[in-house]
Structure 1
Amino acid sequence: MTTVAPATDVRRHELAEFLRSRRERITPEQVGLPRGPRRRTPGLRREEVAQLSAVGVTWYTWLEQAREIQVSPQVLDALARALLLDSSERSHLFALAGSTDPTPYAPCPSVTPALRAMLDQLSPVPACIQNSRYDILAYNTTYGRLLCDLDAVPPEDRNCLWLMFTHADWRAALVDEAEVGRTMAAKFRASMAEHLAEPAWKALLKRLEAASAEFREVWARHEVVTQAGKAKHIRNAQVGMLHLEHTNLWLGPAAGPRLVTYVPLDEESRRRLEILEGLHASHGLSAPAPAAV
């Protein structure tokens, strides 16, 4: 009589093989680690993956040995980033682990073709669609160059909070970056009150706390602020100082997606936005790709 292994056993062994194969294809240089003179292992060592993912070496070793252990979505997210997985590989990782991806790289269904067309029509006024977690779901050409080269940012990192606390160009464009960061963290805390148990929110918070001492400091204050428009002063790297009015237009319930616009407050700012839009067109840059949820 033939014995068939349980589906969970098969998945664990497939997961172990997949992790091993992804680990062995990455060079230390790709993740900022020294190669060292006595390296025999192809790719990364297990302890290096564990270090990059902030998990225990023994725990990660057991995972590659297909042992029966529980893996949280947050740990899988950390492993996916450490192993430089693309969107297809990431989806495969979560499927093998039988887990739901807290930050799936899929087009947001709430961003319809009509909304994308509206964003384009608003240019040169910078405009984007965000959700309450500050993920940037879609944007027009001038927003894509307002604070940094957003097209060059991986879709999974197109989040205003993440960029505020980790992206040098984004931070440099903000005239009062410390106050902006403090206010954004307070708005995020107020929004998160309705999403405390959701993996995507917890994963973003964990990433921010791990990446930024500044974020940890302002988060510890437990400040809360509601969403509101206000004047913004942005120092664009290509066209100089811009004086803009930040406005939110909710596309559904207040906890859902919103249209964010930056209307110029004076003629000089409008002229500079038109120049910024022209620079984008003159370089033959393609329209921004659909962002992830």
Structure 2
Amino acid sequence: MDKRELGVFLRSRRERIRPADVGLPAGPRRRTPGLRRDEVAHLAYISTEYYTRLEQARAPHPSGEVLEGLARALRLSDAERTHLYVLAGVERQGPTGPPRVVRQSLLDLLRRLPQAAAIVISATYEVLAWNDLACALMEDFSALSRRDRNLVRRAFLGPRPPDGRRLYGVSDSDEFARTCAQQLRTAAARYPDDPETVELIAELLSGSEEFAQLWEAREVVARPTLCKTFAHPVVGPVSVACDVLDIADRDQRVVIYTPEPGSPAEEAMRLLAVVGTQHLGAPS
């Protein structure tokens, strides 16, 4: 284990990340570039004291679990993650759960889609990344915890409005729920030893009779959704094309919502791009 190089490497990766990249407010007073040590520790689920000692080359040998948490928190690439393990003197194992680190090229892609709302989701429907228009159309994901950014959890266990259109009032909410159950079963087969996936499924089975029935059906073929309408609380209905790009090497999907040119939905999206989330309440 090269403690000195490990500490320097961690600090260099921490300083390159903007708070907004991981859903944290920038704040008026930040005396250091990038994230603070306590923010990295929080994102990695370790103590601030232990992370500080890692950077200062004073910590004991980190476990593989700690390294995975740091890799996620610091959004390391595959090459950087491998280098982190080498510096720590730990043999890297294959992922036991759905990968959560989003490639920088995909993050850049989201920012370059100013007229389309886009998110990146994991194999278990956790929203991993998003652009500003997605927050305006759906909700401010940066204000939510990791747990609350899971769309399948919100679809089955979230509030159901009188019109039955759960999860942002989408027109295909029931079809989306079925798709979630089907694809979650596929993910469970790929990651049988992932505790978060096991916990999510157990929570859904105990909390939603609808999910339990869909789960018992054991369907694994999802129907594609080409168009959906969001019932937005400020601009009204917004109909968009829904395109899903599979990122095979990460087991992730990029979901892009695009309005038809010249349509009322395009005007609504332009308004949302200006308004953002500043006047938006919680989804009904």
Could you state the TM-score of these two structures normalised by the residue count of structure 2?
A: 0.57
- Residue 222 of structure 1 corresponds to which residue in structure 2? 218
Alpha carbons of structure 1 residues 195 and 113: separation in structure 2 relative to 1, 3 Å: closer
Q: How far off its partner does 1:203 sit?
A: 1.9
Tell me if 1:144 matches 2:126.
no
For residues 145 and 217 of structure 1, the distance between their equivalents in structure 2, rounded to whole angstroms, comes to: 33
User: Could you list the runs of 5+ residues in structure 2 that have no partner in the other structure?
Assistant: 1-40, 51-62, 77-100
Which secondary structure state, in structure 2, belongs to the residue aligned with residue 241 of structure 1? strand
For residues 87 and 207 of structure 1, the distance between their equivalents in structure 2, rounded to whole angstroms, comes to: 24
- Residue 19 of structure 1 corresponds to which residue in structure 2? none
For residues 164 and 108 of structure 1, the distance between their equivalents in structure 2, rounded to whole angstroms, comes to: 27
Q: How far off its partner does 1:108 sit?
A: 4.4
Which range is displaced more, 172-181 or 272-281?
172-181
User: Could you list the runs of 5+ residues in structure 1 that have no partner in the other structure?
Assistant: 1-85, 286-293
- Residue 106 of structure 1 corresponds to which residue in structure 2? 73
Which range is displaced more, 149-158 or 132-141?
149-158
- Residue 189 of structure 1 corresponds to which residue in structure 2? 185
Which of 259, 262, 283 is equivalent to 1:264? 259
Which secondary structure state, in structure 2, belongs to the residue aligned with residue 232 of structure 1? strand
For residues 207 and 145 of structure 1, the distance between their equivalents in structure 2, rounded to whole angstroms, comes to: 29
Q: Percent identity among equivalent residues?
A: 23
Q: How far off its partner does 1:107 sit?
A: 5.1
Q: How large is the Cα RMSD of the aligned pairs?
A: 3.3
Q: How far off its partner does 1:88 sit?
A: 7.0
| 1:239-259 deviation digits (Å, cap 9, x = unpaired) | 111211211222343x61222
For residues 178 and 260 of structure 2, the distance between their equivalents in structure 1, rounded to whole angstroms, comes to: 24
Which secondary structure state, in structure 1, belongs to the residue aligned with residue 108 of structure 2? helix
Contact 1:108 1:137 survives alignment (8 Å): no
Q: How far off its partner does 1:100 sit?
A: 4.9
For residues 179 and 284 of structure 1, the distance between their equivalents in structure 2, rounded to whole angstroms, comes to: 30
| 1:165-218 deviation digits (Å, cap 9, x = unpaired) | 233385251224223212221122133322223223212212222333332232
- Residue 208 of structure 2 corresponds to which residue in structure 1? 212
Which of 241, 245, 249 is equivalent to 2:241? 245
Q: How far off its partner does 1:223 sit?
A: 1.7
Q: Which runs of 4+ in 1 moved over 6 A?
A: none
Q: How far off its partner does 1:222 sit?
A: 1.6
Which of 263, 270, 277 is equivalent to 1:274? 270
Could you state the TM-score of these two structures normalised by the residue count of structure 1?
A: 0.56
Alpha carbons of structure 1 residues 265 and 190: separation in structure 2 relative to 1, 3 Å: farther
Structure number with greater Rg is: 1
What letter matches 1:129 in structure 2?
V
